[in-house]
């Protein structure tokens, strides 16, 4: 039987998934609290699968308040860290912004991390051709911490550098993009040997000079924290220095 989806929320993930589901030709309804509150019951009744795509802290209270509407539905949330008996987690391992939608190929390649011991992705989100990986639910907060470190922390670093290049150095952001692309490419090809620069070379003198220049910039703290954390970096201990 063809699924009928109800996407709840009008934020970033909801807008991307709505576009994706429509590109796939899946029957999809959308509802958000900005719209008509009374239409939720009708849309829930018309759907086989409800995706609760709202802010993490709001998911459980929302599902609790509307328990009766969803008792016979497959209910899924997209949080990377939340585990709740009220819905199954299917975390799209991707970053979704409010800018441009992505293309169909990008959407299809997004891995979904689902909860070990629960239904398969083909039951949670039938009609999606995406790869999926199972994770012990107890590990979800740690898994999500790694996602945030890799995707969000690096975004903060690049945003900082883009702004400083343009405002303090008078260099265009475009000068950075070949570097960004190569860093990502090197990590993909050979993560264990991707690190270069003064930390990889153990060049303390250069690092001290950098910290003097950064002075009271809050990112001096980040720089110091990275030096300290890199001492325990498993790649560094596996011959990553070159």
Ligand X SMILES: NC(=O)c1ccc[n+]([C@@H]2O[C@H](COP(=O)([O-])OP(=O)(O)OC[C@H]3O[C@@H](n4cnc5c(N)ncnc54)[C@H](OP(=O)(O)O)[C@@H]3O)[C@@H](O)[C@H]2O)c1
Residues of this chain that bind ligand X (CB under 6 A): 9-14, 32-34, 53-56, 58, 62, 77-80, 91-92, 94-96
**Which tokens sit at 25?**
């030709």
Sheet holding 74-77, edge to edge: 27-31, 4-8, 49-52, 74-77, 88-92, 112-115, 132-135
- Decide: 184 and 130 in contact? Cβ < 8 Å: no
Q: Which is nearer to ligand X, 59 or 207 (CB)?
A: 59
Q: Which is nearer to ligand X, 40 or 199 (CB)?
A: 40
Q: Least Å distance between CB 71 and ligand X? A: 19
Q: Least Å distance between CB 25 and ligand X? A: 23
Q: Which is nearer to ligand X, 94 or 176 (CB)?
A: 94
Q: Residue number with the shortest CB distance to ligand X?
A: 11
Q: Least Å distance between CB 80 and ligand X? A: 6
What DSSP string describes 54-118? S-HHHHHHHHHHTHHHHTTSEEEE--SS--BTTBEEEEE-S---SSSPPPHHHHHH--EEEETTS
Q: Which is nearer to ligand X, 91 or 199 (CB)?
A: 91
Q: Least Å distance between CB 159 and ligand X? A: 15
For residue 131, the 8-state DSSP code is -
For residue 191, the 8-state DSSP code is G
Q: Which is nearer to ligand X, 93 or 227 (CB)?
A: 93
Q: Least Å distance between CB 91 and ligand X? A: 6
Task: Give CA–CA dist 113/132, Å, rounded.
Answer: 6
């Amino acid at each position: 039987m063809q699924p009928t989806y109800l996407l709840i929320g009008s934020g970033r993930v909801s807008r991307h998934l709505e576009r994706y589901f429509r590109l796939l030709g899946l029957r999809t309804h959308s509802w958000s609290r900005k719209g008509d509150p009374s239409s939720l019951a009708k849309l829930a009744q018309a759907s086989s699968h409800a995706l609760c795509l709202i802010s993490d802290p709001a998911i459980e209270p929302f599902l609790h308040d509307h328990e009766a509407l969803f008792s016979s539905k497959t209910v899924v949330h997209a949080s990377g860290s939340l585990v709740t008996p009220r819905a199954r987690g299917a975390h799209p391992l991707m970053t979704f912004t409010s800018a441009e939608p992505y293309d169909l190929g990008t959407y299809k390649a997004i891995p979904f991390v689902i909860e070990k011991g629960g239904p398969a992705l083909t039951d949670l989100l039938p009609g999606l051709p995406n790869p999926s990986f199972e994770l012990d639910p107890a590990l979800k907060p740690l898994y999500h911490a790694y996602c945030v470190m890799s995707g969000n922390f690096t975004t903060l670093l690049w945003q900082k550098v883009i702004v400083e290049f343009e405002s303090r150095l008078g260099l265009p952001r475009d000068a950075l993009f070949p570097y960004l692309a190569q860093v990502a490419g090197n990590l993909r090809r050979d993560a264990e040997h991707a690190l270069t620069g003064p930390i990889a070379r153990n060049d303390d003198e250069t690092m001290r000079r950098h910290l003097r220049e950064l002075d009271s910039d809050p990112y001096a703290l980040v720089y110091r924290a990275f030096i300290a954390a890199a001492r325990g970096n498993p790649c560094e201990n596996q011959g990553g220095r070159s």
